[in-house]
């Protein structure tokens, strides 16, 4: 691990540890519930500074909810409209679009691709329900 340029408070480190779990996307409230010893204001401050340091990313979902995740190499998201589950998907089709923008003189910085639909688990549950009728 390269040494981080800015000092990370102990609380911010706790938030980082939490978010670094695989496929982890949490709302500020969920983070707060997971760290009951840390005050609400401290959590918000930690999230704000970690986001500014680009150690975490904030994703604004269509539902108006924002979730936080550890900064991983660019990936896409699948959001289940039934259970709200968020999954990381590999790949970044936005890279090509960013490159073409760059060639035209723009300064693209991120491409967030979110695909909404029904996840495998919900589809499976639905099928089972139907076969039980």
Please give the residue ranges that form the binding site for Zn ion (CB under 5 A): 69, 80, 82-83, 85, 88, 119, 122
CB of 123 to Zn ion, least distance (A): 8
Nearer to Zn ion, 96 or 112 (CB): 112
CB of 4 to Zn ion, least distance (A): 21
CA dist., res. 75 & res. 46, Å (int): 24
- For residue 78, the cross-strand partners are 87, 115
Nearer to Zn ion, 26 or 119 (CB): 119
Contact 58, 66 (CB under 8 A): yes
Crossing angle for the helix pair 40-52 and 10-19, to the nearest 10 degrees: 70
CB of 30 to Zn ion, least distance (A): 15
């Amino acid at each position: 691990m390269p040494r981080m340029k800015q000092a990370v408070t102990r609380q911010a480190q706790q938030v980082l540890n939490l978010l670094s779990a695989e496929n982890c996307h949490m709302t500020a409230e969920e983070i707060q519930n997971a760290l009951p010893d840390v005050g609400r204001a401290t959590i918000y401050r930690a999230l704000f500074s970690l986001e500014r340091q680009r150690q975490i990313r904030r994703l604004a979902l269509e539902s108006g909810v924002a979730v936080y995740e550890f900064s991983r190499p660019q990936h896409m998201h699948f959001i289940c409209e039934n259970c709200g589950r968020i999954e990381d998907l590999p790949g970044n089709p936005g890279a090509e679009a960013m490159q073409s923008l760059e060639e035209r003189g723009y300064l693209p910085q991120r491409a967030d691709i979110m695909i909404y639909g029904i996840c495998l688990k919900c589809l499976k549950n639905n099928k089972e329900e139907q076969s039980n009728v």
